[in-house]
Every structure is written in structure tokens, then in C-alpha cells.
């Protein structure tokens, strides 16, 4: 989001909660909401407006024509729907709905569930969906990826490809992720080939559904926005396509991107923002059923748990149905493999669990997680929303762990760089993160997960400072010392029992010139300079080897809380800036008998007692290799200052 999110545990009085709900109960369609169904010789249009007095359909030749070429009065049907059938071929036309309430006609809208839209998203588009499929789309299959191999890479389209050094032709576009063989000026791989080298397995795309903050008629101005101001949840954003005026082109190019990522061995996660919309007055929600889809105060103003002007009401029957069907649409039509929920704590637990049930019925391997916090207290009881603290009440839904983030890199707004810079007081939360947030007899922090795969381990994402900027602000150190801290921090992430998550470009030691909230900053702030792959290639290789080590050793992802309690033991070390642990009894799980990790955040070398044995050294003192960087036999292991050591007993 364009603001940072904070955990809030506030609750709401019963009276205030009652004021959030719309008056009365409204009929809801029994079937999936379909606002535009093209059948060739006829097209069926529907809009949900159960308390409207009348409704009209307007058809236009373009997304910008002032006058409609056809206006059709709609008829009220079952489930609160108004329906019209146009008995002619109108493929390529654009449409809006207009409903009447209290004798007044509300402004036109593309509806709430438009799946294809024109430029800037204010009109829906009539398309033949067969025209949107790239060649071979019917055969597109998501790769099989074991839970122990999940490593998420968060990617923003412009950041990743727009810089002149990327070697990519379709800069800032969906098609950037279809190009192979791209290189930086020194001949090192960029783009999708770089991702393959890095060993990540899931690509999380920042918002790519239609949002309102970029004027798609002025793309030559190189506008930038993260996209956390959604307009049409079921339609593809146009600014990342090569032709935002062509509804079919943007859809086909998005599918080409997904297809390319699947062929390259990646699964795709979509960042979804159902917790709030852009300015409510321009949305289909307010132009069809004012006040229903949002949590409202008695005086008609919006509650604002999102910090962006409004918060949606997942507890409302139609909005819950809408969210579920929208997510199913992205899975079925676009072959999306997972979802990251922005400000998930605004949604109620029942809705999130129903979402999980429905999506896992489509794909048992779907990955679902979100931010377990909000920007302000949501207008719903804290015990009933998807707060991080309530993650144990969610079924196969995870949450980002600010425990390990703040412990390793220092709390947000704090002037220190945490465990990786030798700051005391962080050991307990580092251990909590290593255990994947589950209850563990040696961990003092209260658990909030039932399963370690509900714990998303990270130290950097699009929000707040990227890791380099954080270090340059908070750590008084040389660049070489800061690079050691980065390696230490990421070793903690990659050896956590949770899901490892990294931010695009942090493996290149990217920066954003110290800007914390770069949601609308120019490319000069946000774009990844690919010459950094040459300058910091040692760091890139270290990230890649950490991924290779994790892939080679599923003991780092046991995937079960009981197994974590049984097999992961923390080694007692009398130093507040050293975390050491051993995962043993791995026969039948891992090729290694045991895995030992030493995380030394202190500024001095330490020697740690470990069970005597014969070990292969996989990482030590800033070097890592999934095959081996050496061997060790004995019962004491030295750990260099600000470094990580990984040992495998074979």
C-alpha cells in the first residue's frame, strides 16, 4: 500500500458495529455473478442492484464516445439482478450500467464485476474470451512445486524491467516476463533468466488488476504507481499492456506472462486489494448499491481501516460472494496459483476461511497469505478479523511475520538495524521466526500459527525501506560490513521453517535513494539498475546458493508443527546476539541426518558447542554452496562476526 500498515488490536462496540451494516437483507444471486456474457448473436447483461427502481444498459462504440449507440431498459429478475439481452453481435462494443434510486439516476458504471474494460476502466468491454487466449493456453499447466521448495519473489512490473540496463524490450510491461536471453551491459542474465538463476519458485506480482491511479491515455508520461487503489477487481490493469485501448490485448498479454512463467518453472501469486477501493464515488459499488459494500458510520461517512478513505465489508453476504467468485475467476481464467491479501486484517475470519476452502477445491496447492494488520482499527471486532494474532484460526491461510522482520532488521521507525547489526533484545523473535511461528518449548514468544507454512518470513518488501536503505540509515558501517549483514539476515529467512519471501532487487543490493514510501515515485527512484548484478554478483550468488541449499534440504521446511517441536532444537548460547539451532532425526525426510545453523549477529567471533560429528559445510563467513565449501569434524564450531554458518551431517 501507499502507507505502511500497523498491527491494531482495537475492537468496536456493538452499537458501532451495528451501524456498519446496511439496513435490511437483500436477495443474492444463487448463480455466479456474470455481468456480460457474450454468445455471438446475443449478449446477456446483468447488474446487481436489488433496491434500485430502474436500470439501463448503455452501449458505446468506444471507451470515449460521448453518446451511446444503444440504450436498453433492463428488467428486474431473481437474486436482485437487473437483466437485458441484446440480440445482435456487439463484440467490440463498450457498455455501462445506470441505476435509479430515490427518483435519481446514479452515474454510469462498468458494474462491479467487469472482466474486460476499456482505457481507464470506466466502461466494460464485450469480448469473445476465445480471442484472449495465446497459442497453447489450453495446455498451460502450473508446475508442481513441493511446499519445502516455496520461495516467493515479490515483483513490481516497472521496477523489474524498465531500467535501460535491463536488456528487456517490453520495459515495464507484462511481456517483459516473456522475454528470454536478456542481459545487462556486462552480459549477465536479467529478467526471467535471472529469476531462474536465483532459485525462487513463486513470483508475487504487485497489483495487476485494474487500478485508478495511472491515466492510461498518457502512458508516454511514464507514470508510476504501485496500484493499491483498485477500480475493477476482475479486469487486468492496462498500463502494463502494450495497448491499454484494446481490452483483448491487455488480457492476452497478461496470459502470455503467466504462461511464460509457468513454462519457466514458476508459480504465480497475485497481490489482491479487496480491503478498500479507490475513491468510492467512482466505483461500481457506490454507483449500484451505495453504502452496501463498505463499512459505514451512522452519519453516512466511511470507516477507514485501510487508511485510504474506506474499508470494505467482507461480512456482507454479497461482498463475500463477490470476493470468492473474483478469486475463482483469476484462478480459472488466468491460471493464478496463489494470492497475497493486502491488509487482510480488514476481512473477517469466516470469509477468509470460506475463500480458502473454495480455492483449495480448485487447486489443493494454492498458496494464500496476507498482511495480518490494518492501517487503522477496522470497524469489526478484533477477535473476528484476520489479524496476525488470529492466524491460528485461519485454515491454510498465512500471514507476514513482522516478528522476524523487526527482530532481524530493527523495528519500523526505530533507529537501529536489529539483530543483524548486533543489537540486543531480538533473539526471542528471531527464534520465533526460525520455528515458523508455532508453539515450541524453547520459544518464549506466543505462537500465532498452527502450521509453520502459515508464517511468511521476510526482512524486506515493497513497503518501507528496502534492506539497503534501511542499513544505510540505521547501521554505522562500511558497505562491506552492511553486505555481511544482508547475508546474515537472508540466511535467517531461508533457514526459517516458514515461507521465505524476498523483495525484487534486494539480491542486487538495490536502493530507492532512502525513500520509504515510493508508491508514486518516478522510475529514477524505483527502477532496478541491472548493472548492480555485476557490482554485487557475490551477493546474487549467495542468494542463489541459499535457495539451492533449501531446495536440497527439506528439513528446513518440515511443514508440520509437531515435527518442528520434535526435530528442531535451539542450542543454548550465552550471547544475546547469537541464535543457534539444530534440526535432527531427518532420516526419511532429508538426505542429511541433521542440519545445524549458527546465526551470529554479534561483532565478535564465537565458538559454539555442537554434537560431535562429521559435517559438510554449506555456508560460512559469507560464502555458500549447496554442494559444499568444505568439511568439518568435531564438537565446536567457530562462527565469524556478523555471519551465518550452515552445516549438514551426512
Active-site amino acid positions: 342, 371
For the chain, report the end-to-end CA distance as a whole number of angstroms: 45
CA distances (Å), 565 to each of 441, 443, 472, 569, 649, in order?
Answer: 7, 10, 37, 8, 20
Q: Are 506 and 461 in contact (CB under 8 A)?
A: no
CB-based contacts of 579, cutoff 8 Å, min separation 6: 419, 427, 430, 431, 434, 492, 570, 573, 598, 599, 601
CA distances (Å), 98 to each of 34, 58, 92, in order?
Answer: 17, 8, 20
Positive or negative, the CA dihedral 239, 240, 246, 247 is negative
Q: Tell me how far apart the alpha carbons of residues 111 and 567 are, in angstroms, rounded to a whole number.
A: 53
Residue from 623, 536, 140, 86 nearest 334 by CA: 140
Residue from 57, 52, 51 nearest 72 by CA: 57
Q: At what angle do helices 479-494 and 427-434 cross, to 10 degrees?
A: 50
Q: Which residues of 401-424 are buried (b: 16+ CB within 10 A; e: fewer)?
A: bbbbbbbbbbebeeebbbbbbbbe
170: region left, alpha or beta (phi > 0 left; psi from -120 to 50 alpha): beta
Q: Are 249 and 170 in contact (CB under 8 A)?
A: no
Residue from 437, 422, 501 nearest 467 by CA: 501
Residue 534: how many CB atoms within 10 A of its CB? 15
Please, what is the Cα angle at 76 between 72 and 78, to 5 degrees? Answer: 135
Q: In 384-499, which residue ranges form alpha helices assigned H by DSSP?
A: 402-409, 427-434, 467-474, 479-494
Please, what is the Cα angle at 581 between 580 and 587, to 5 degrees? Answer: 155
Q: Burial of 481 by CB count in 10 Å (0-12 exposed, 13-18 middle, 19+ buried)?
A: middle
Q: Tell me how far apart the alpha carbons of residues 526 and 158 are, in angstroms, rounded to a whole number.
A: 8
Residue from 340, 368, 374, 336 nearest 354 by CA: 368
Q: Tell me how far apart the alpha carbons of residues 494 and 136 are, in angstroms, rounded to a whole number.
A: 35
Residue from 547, 519, 542, 549 nearest 621 by CA: 542
Instruction: Enumerate the β-bridge partners of residue 571.
Output: 580
Q: In 215-316, which residue ranges form alpha helices assigned H by DSSP?
A: 247-263, 284-288
Which contiguous run of DSSP H or E holds residue 17? Answer: helix 14-20
Which contiguous run of DSSP H or E holds residue 502? Answer: strand 499-503
Residue 561 in grid coordinates: 508443527
Amino acid at each position: 500500500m501507499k502507507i505502511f500498515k500497523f498491527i491494531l488490536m482495537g475492537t468496536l462496540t456493538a452499537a458501532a458495529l451495528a451501524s456498519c451494516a446496511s439496513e435490511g437483507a437483500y436477495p443474492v444471486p444463487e448463480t455466479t455473478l456474470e455481468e456480460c456474457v457474450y454468445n455471438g448473436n446475443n449478449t446477456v447483461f446483468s447488474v446487481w442492484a436489488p433496491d434500485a427502481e430502474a436500470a439501463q444498459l448503455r452501449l458505446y462504440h468506444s471507451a470515449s464516445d460521448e453518446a451511446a449507440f444503444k440504450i436498453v431498459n433492463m428488467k428486474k429478475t431473481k437474486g436482485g439482478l437487473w437483466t437485458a439481452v441484446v440480440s445482435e453481435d456487439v463484440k467490440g462494443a463498450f457498455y455501462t450500467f445506470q441505476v435509479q434510486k430515490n427518483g435519481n439516476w446514479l452515474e454510469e458504471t462498468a458494474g462491479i464485476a467487469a472482466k474486460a474494460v476499456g482505457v481507464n476502466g470506466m466502461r466494460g468491454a464485450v469480448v469473445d474470451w476465445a480471442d484472449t487466449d495465446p497459442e497453447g493456453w489450453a495446455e498451460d499447466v502450473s508446475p508442481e512445486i513441493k511446499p519445502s521448495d516455496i520461495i516467493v519473489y515479490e515483483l513490481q512490473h516497472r521496477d523489474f524491467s524498465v531500467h535501460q540496463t535491463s536488456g528487456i524490450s517490453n520495459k515495464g510491461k507484462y511481456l517483459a516476463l516473456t522475454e528470454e536471453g536478456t542481459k545487462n551491459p556486462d552480459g549477465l542474465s536479467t529478467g526471467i533468466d535471472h529469476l531462474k538463476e536465483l532459485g525462487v519458485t513463486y513470483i508475487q506480482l504487485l497489483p495487476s488488476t485494474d487500478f485508478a491511479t495511472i491515466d492510461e491515455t498518457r502512458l508516454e508520461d511514464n507514470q508510476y504507481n504501485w496500484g493499491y487503489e483498485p477500480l475493477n477487481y476482475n479486469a487486468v490493469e492496462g498500463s502494463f499492456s502494450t495497448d491499454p485501448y484494446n481490452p483483448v490485448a491487455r488480457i492476452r498479454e497478461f496470459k502470455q506472462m503467466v504462461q511464460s512463467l509457468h513454462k519457466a518453472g514458476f508459480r504465480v501469486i497475485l497481490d489482491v486489494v479487496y480491503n478498500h477501493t479507490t475513491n468510492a464515488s467512482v466505483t461500481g459499488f457506490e454507483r449500484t448499491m451505495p453504502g452496501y459494500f463498505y463499512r459505514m458510520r451512522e452519519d453516512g461517512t466511511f470507516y477507514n481501516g485501510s487508511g485510504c478513505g474506506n474499508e470494505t465489508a467482507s461480512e456482507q453476504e454479497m461482498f463475500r460472494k463477490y470476493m470468492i467468485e473474483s478469486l475463482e475467476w483469476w484462478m480459472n481464467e488466468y491460471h493464478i496459483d496463489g494470492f497475497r491479501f493486502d491488509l487482510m486484517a480488514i476481512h473477517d475470519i469466516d470469509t477468509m476461511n470460506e475463500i480458502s476452502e473454495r480455492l483449495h477445491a480448485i487447486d489443493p496447492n494454492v498458496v494464500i497469505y496476507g498482511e495480518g494488520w490494518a492501517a487503522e482499527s477496522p470497524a469489526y471486532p478484533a477477535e473476528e478479523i484476520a489479524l496476525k494474532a488470529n492466524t491460528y484460526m485461519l485454515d491454510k491461510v498465512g500471514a507476514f511475520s513482522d516478528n522476524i522482520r523487526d527482530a532481524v532488521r530493527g523495528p519500523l521507525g526505530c533507529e537501529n538495524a536489529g539483530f543483524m547489526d548486533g543489537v540486543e533484545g531480538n533473539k526471542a523473535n528471531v527464534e520465533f521466526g526460525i520455528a515458523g511461528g508455532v508453539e515450541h518449548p524453547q520459544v518464549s514468544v506466543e505462537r500465532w500459527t498452527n502450521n509453520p507454512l502459515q508464517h511468511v518470513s521476510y526482512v524486506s518488501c515493497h513497503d518501507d525501506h528496502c534492506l539497503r536503505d534501511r542499513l544505510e540509515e540505521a547501521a554505522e558501517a562500511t558497505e562491506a560490513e552492511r553486505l555481511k549483514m544482508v547475508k546474515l539476515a537472508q540466511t535467517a529467512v531461508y533457514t526459517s521453517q516458514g515461507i521465505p519471501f524476498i523483495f525484487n532487487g534486494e539480491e542486487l543490493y538495490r536502493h530507492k535513494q532512502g525513500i520509504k514510501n515510493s508508491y508514486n515515485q518516478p522510475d529514477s527512484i524505483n527502477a532496478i539498475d541491472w548493472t548492480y548484478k555485476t557490482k554485487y554478483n557475490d551477493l546474487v550468488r549467495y542468494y542463489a546458493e541459499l535457495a539451492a541449499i533449501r531446495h536440497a534440504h527439506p528439513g528446513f521446511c518440515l511443514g508440520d508443527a509437531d515435527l518442528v517441536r520434535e526435530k528442531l532444537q535451539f542450542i543454548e548460547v550465552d550471547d544475546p546476539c547469537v541464535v543457534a539451532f539444530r534440526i535432527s532425526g531427518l532420516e526419511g525426510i532429508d538426505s542429511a541426518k541433521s542440519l545445524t545453523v549458527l546465526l551470529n549477529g554479534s561483532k565478535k567471533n564465537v565458538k559454539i558447542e555442537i554434537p560431535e560429528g562429521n559435517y559438510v559445510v554449506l555456508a560460512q563467513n559469507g560464502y555458500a554452496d549447496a554442494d559444499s565449501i568444505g568439511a568439518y569434524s568435531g564438537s565446536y564450531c567457530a562462527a565469524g562476526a556478523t555471519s551465518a554458518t550452515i552445516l549438514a551431517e551426512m
